[in-house]
Amino acid sequence: MSEAHAIKQHRFGETSRTDRWWIQPVAVFSILSSFIIYATWAGMQGANYFFHEGGAHYLSPLYSPLLYGLAHEPRVFSAIQPGWWPDFLPFSAAILILAGPAGMRITCYYYRGAYYKAFWADPPACAVGEPRKSYLGENRLPLILQNAHRFFFYIACLFVLVLSYDAFKAFWFLSGDGSKAFGIGVGSIVLLLNAFFLGCYTLGCHCSRHLFGGRLNCFAKAKVSKKCYDCVSTLNQNHMQWAWVSLVWVGFSDVYVRLCAMGTWTDWRIL
């Protein structure tokens, strides 16, 4: 590469690339921004996150685990809201839990690469000039906190377990006599897919690979770990796809439960 060419590429947005390199950062910016705006709005509503008409048991993933809520809702504590919550602040149970999954996404190795490009052009795309001259890395605050990813991974695993339990409960419908019967509604499938997609995203995390195989020196002596390592490595190869599918489906799951709870959509029973 000539010196003149190298200098030219240092200008913001300049590149020798002839493909439509800007599509990916624009798409990432649009989808992530839309999700953040929607999730913030939905998380602040504090209503229509639980659908129980017809004996159904659908809880929005943005509110699960539901720590506080009304008597008929599957809450952990019996109160509507914590006693220490300031009166002047509107309360929503989602506020108490969203930091866990949000921390997992924000510190995710894939998302970091994507939103560094899309939100602050660092760089906008590979081989495209960026609006700064030096590389600062993630070696000082606040970006050094990205190293907490492995801890968010453990928290995210707990969320996957909770959401899997929610999906299981979505297949049991309350009858008129108070007993529960197995059934399948469209919402059951929506919540099952939600747990599945999130499980594939979480288990495909780089921390998951380290957990199952990274600490081993010899795979031949740890056959079970090797099998697990191979499985999560397969998921890891499609980590980007799982990241987007699971993100979009979390949003759609909340939309589904919300619109059913509002009476806008009807939850069709398949069985």
Q: Which residues bind ligand FES (CB under 6 A)?
A: 104, 108-110, 149, 153, 205-207, 239
Shortest approach of ligand FES to residue 223 CB, angstroms? 25
Nearer to ligand FES, 9 or 236 (CB): 236
Nearer to ligand FES, 188 or 208 (CB): 208
Nearer to ligand FES, 24 or 241 (CB): 241
Shortest approach of ligand FES to residue 20 CB, angstroms? 26
Tally of CA atoms within 13 A in the half-sphere of 92 that contains its CB: 19
**Cβ–Cβ under 8 Å, residues 58 and 157:** no
Shortest approach of ligand FES to residue 236 CB, angstroms? 8
**Cβ–Cβ under 8 Å, residues 235 and 203:** yes
Shortest approach of ligand FES to residue 208 CB, angstroms? 7
Nearer to ligand FES, 108 or 190 (CB): 108
Kindly give, in sequence order, each residue whose CB lies less than 8 Å from that of residue 6, ignoring residues fewer than 6 positions away. Answer: none
**Cβ–Cβ under 8 Å, residues 152 and 104:** yes
Q: Which of 59, 32, 72, 21 is nearest to 159 (CA)?
A: 59
Nearest 10 degrees: Cα torsion 178, 183, 185, 187: 70
